[in-house]
Amino acid sequence: MQIDLTGRTAFVSGSTQGIGRVIAARLAAAGAATVINGRAADRVDAVIGELRAGDPQARIDGIAADVSTPEGAAAVFAALPAVDILVNNLGIYAPRPLLEIDDETWQSFWNANVMSGIRLARHYLPGMRDRGWGRVQFMASDSAVVIPEEMVHYGVTKTALLGVSRGFAKAMAGTGVTVNAVIAGPTRTEGVEEFVRGLLGDELPWKRAEAEFMSRLRPTSLIKRLIYPEEIANMVVYLSSDLASATTGGALRVDGGYVDHILP
């Protein structure tokens, strides 16, 4: 399949590292004018340079703003009034015993993982609707349907994204705009490597630590390894294209078979 996003503008929140960075690079490689996002201007500028160096033909810009806040979202809207493709990727996670999670932590996770995407979608969807074409994706997680004991607060926010995505898809019914959630499974990013090391220590060689993590904490994975960010990005790029015009209101799994359900 040939995916050509030439003429489309894409915005990927929280995209200076991890899955978001790879998604942005893949969207740009497919021809979309892609805008990355992070909180720190120097980091955004550095990643723009790195991505352009890796693909000199790519059209990549950036906006430094914290979209977990209304003020940060407003800064994005001022710099980028309209987009064709919106990927709500921003997310934070950290393990913590459930009974030790205070109100402030719950609220910070809700603001970053849920409200950021709601604000962005609420702003950009009307323009997509009026133009008769648009793609919105909420980056969810296997934790949305298999709540992890070690970080319930994270899992709850990802569960919420499934409902939010479905609701926005209904609001866009019949308009040519699609809205979906992508259920990403355990993925090898910088943050996940730190998470695994935090649980298992630094003594084990990485391959053994990965295998131990999967067998102990993600035993139902059918690929028995962490997913590569590129494997998640491939789904996102497809959903961002004309080829996915009949896919909306869905929760699409790229989880290595980890979630032991026939449907999400």
* Whole-prediction pTM: 0.95
Backbone angles phi, psi at 33, to 5 degrees: -75, 110
Quick one: tokens of 139? 């980056």
Q: What is the C-alpha to C-alpha distance for residues 146 and 155, in angstroms, rounded to an integer?
A: 8
| Res 198: pLDDT | 86
Whether 228 is a known active-site residue: answer: no
Q: Which residue has the tokens 């603001």?
A: 111
Q: What is the C-alpha to C-alpha distance for residues 242 and 31, in angstroms, rounded to an integer?
A: 13
Active-site residue, selected from the candidate residues 124, 154, 228, 258:
154
* pLDDT, mean of each 10-residue run, the chain (264 residues): 95 97 98 98 98 96 98 98 98 94 98 98 98 98 93 97 98 98 94 86 91 91 96 98 98 95 77
Domains in the chain, please, with CATH?
A: 9-187+227-251 (3.40.50.720)
| Res 21: pLDDT | 97
| Res 4: pLDDT | 97
- Cβ(176)–Cβ(125) under 8 Å? no
Quick one: tokens of 254? 């790229």
| Res 264: pLDDT | 64
Q: What is the C-alpha to C-alpha distance for residues 141 and 154, in angstroms, rounded to an integer?
A: 9
Quick one: tokens of 69? 């806040």
